[in-house]
Chains A and B, each alone.
Chain A
Amino acid sequence: MGKVAIIGVGQSAFSRAYPGSIRELAFEAFREAMVDAGAETGDIGATVVCSAPEYDKQRSPAGVLAEYLGLTPQPTFYAETLCSSSSTGLKLAYSLVASGLHDSVMVIGFQKMSEISSAESQERMGRGADIQWESPFGTMMPAYYAMYAQGYMDSYGITSEDLALIRVKAATYGQINEKAVYRKGVELQQCLDADPVANPLKVFDCCANADGASCVIVASEAKAKAMGIAKPVWILGLGAASAPVNLAGRDLFNGLRVAQMAAAEAYQMAGISAQDVDVAEVHDCFTIAEMMAYENLGFAEPGGGKELIRSKETYKEGSIPVNVDGGLLSKGHPIGATGGSQIRTIVLQLRGEAGEMQVKDPQIGLVHNIGGVGLYGNVSILGR
């Protein structure tokens, strides 16, 4: 099987409410990725479109986007794993290219969460779990992650302050990421004084909804060469796993099994270990999610995550920089676009093009992207 490269990346600005339609939103990420790769629409063999359909008014958006982006008559289809949809898209694109079916595939992730009213959004949130057995109790995303936070605190004795440190770090980098929705700094005390959402998680422990789009162009080695791509970034390892949706089916409340399994699979495929990772993007939809990711990815021993953040090892200058683009906490979390945005950040880092956010000379980068509350786990390892 030949090598597979990422040859172009793009992202729209993430915003509270995008003043345009989904096709126009997708175009912003598409245009940036196409210019980045120096590609023409004829270079793209197929598209994988990724979003969480409960926010889409448009039924089957793949065809609508492909037409607007000038990617018809090439095949296009839709992929969905909630918040990790575009990482799943990357895995599908990799498979399509590695199998030889196509020499180049585009992954477009998008979400216009403001497409529906907040009342409609509330109603959908109630269905964001096992609708038969959990939703009738009145469940919400923050409450599920709060159950992991409670379990984690009980196991490893961390405090709300340790979680707040993660938000403070995210805000440090959100301020220098012009595509982030939340550009302000956040003080530790501000986090601790904030209202609880679902105990023990408070307002600043949670990421914000956003509108946004991302685009990743994947190509075979031969195609990348033929297009004269100067700095291809190689897909070295991909891992994915699923878990029971109902928390009654889970055996662990201080970490995510899907992340552990996806990481093990991705490390094995890449032939590396956690120590070889130079920069990472992890799925910090809530502060506790980043804390668990440190351990589930092997950056720290179980219970050791707090030391990483307390000693600032996950800051840009630390031993394992994590989410130095502001993460979901500051960038915002447009569900279907998030994975592609994380991939873009790592690609820019590996090319040395991350500007103010650049970490020193990274060789290997990692993306950890979770769908639902540990329902879907995806880990992608990229290298120069």
Chain B
Amino acid sequence: MGDKKKKKREMDTRFAKFGTVSFTATTKVNDFVDFLEKGQVAGTRCKTCGTHYFPPRAHCCQCLDRAEMEWFTVEGTGRLMTYSQLMYAPIGFTDDLPYAIAVLDYGDYKVFGRIGDVPLEELEIGMELKAQANRLPNGQLNYVFNRP
């Protein structure tokens, strides 16, 4: 009995490090956090059908059991599709105010995230920005959009 208790299954909770506040700790794409640690933003690609997934997925709903998933890193710049600056924030994010969220179009995929150190008055839909891994003051990891 005692032994059994000790053999409690270890959960891989690396994903708890993602974001100012993380709402989920376990996912099959936990390696995403390791990429962020290395300064990279990564998605997954299904080798079977060639689809790029961002945010990364562990599965391909088209290829099912024929899917072969691999990681790719988000390189270069994406076109700013839209953005908004928040003046109110949910609990846990008020210290970050004001901040802006945005979507970048990378062609094969899009990336949802936060604007980094680009002054808001300089933001313009259509401009090119670059997704970059980022370490937050509270030790958590995320990614932000900056000028290339």
Q: Which residues of A pack against B, CB within 8 Å?
A: 119, 122-123, 125-127, 130-140, 142-144, 146-151, 154, 195-201, 246-250, 253
Contacts and interface: CB of A to CB of B under 8 A. Distances in A.
Please name the 4 residue pairs, one residue from A and one from B, whose CB atoms are nearest each other, closest first.
A136-B19, A126-B90, A138-B93, A146-B84
Given A132-B24, A137-B20, A246 B112 contact: yes
A246 B90 contact: no
A144 B120 CA distance: 17
A151 B82 contact: yes
Given A122-B90, A196-B85, 9 more contacts: A126-B21, A137-B20, A146-B84, A147-B103, A148-B82, A199-B120, A246-B112, A248-B103, A249-B110
A73 to B, nearest CB: 40
Contact of B84 (A122, A135, A147): A147
Interface residues of B, number: 39
Contacts of B86: 138, 140, 143, 198
A236 B102 CA distance: 40
Given A136-B18, A136-B19, A248-B103, A125 B90 contact: yes
Nearest to A136: B19
Interface centre among B23, B96, B113 (most CB of A within 10 A): B23
Nearest to B109: A248
Contact of B55 (A133, A148, A151): A133
Contacts of B20: 136-138
A146 B114 CA distance: 14
Contact of B22 (A119, A136, A147, A201): A136
A134 B89 CA distance: 13
Contacts of B125: 150-151, 154
B40 interface: no
A150 B38 CA distance: 33
B8 to A, nearest CB: 25
A198 B21 contact: no
9 contacts: A126-B93, A136-B21, A142-B88, A151-B82, A151-B125, A248-B103, A248-B110, A248-B111, A250-B110
A139 B88 CA distance: 10
B35 interface: no
B72 interface: no
A147 B102 CA distance: 8
Interface centre among B19, B84, B92 (most CB of A within 10 A): B84
B44 interface: no
B81 interface: yes
Contacts of A154: 82, 125-126
Nearest to B20: A138
A138 B55 contact: no
B101 interface: yes
A199 B84 contact: yes
Interface centre among B20, B23, B82, B92 (most CB of A within 10 A): B82
Nearest to A134: B112
A183 to B, nearest CB: 25
Interface in B47-86: 54-55, 81-86
B1 interface: no
B84 A132 contact: no
Nearest to A195: B87
A255 to B, nearest CB: 12
B89 to A, nearest CB: 5
A249 B19 CA distance: 20
Interface centre among B85, B120, B142 (most CB of A within 10 A): B85
Contacts of A127: 23
A202 B130 CA distance: 29
A137 B103 contact: no
A146 to B, nearest CB: 4
Interface centre among A138, A142, A154 (most CB of B within 10 A): A138
Contact of A247 (B96, B99, B112): B112
A196 B84 CA distance: 11
A125 to B, nearest CB: 5
A248 B86 CA distance: 19
A151 B142 CA distance: 24
Contacts of B13: none
Contact of B91 (A126, A130, A143): A126
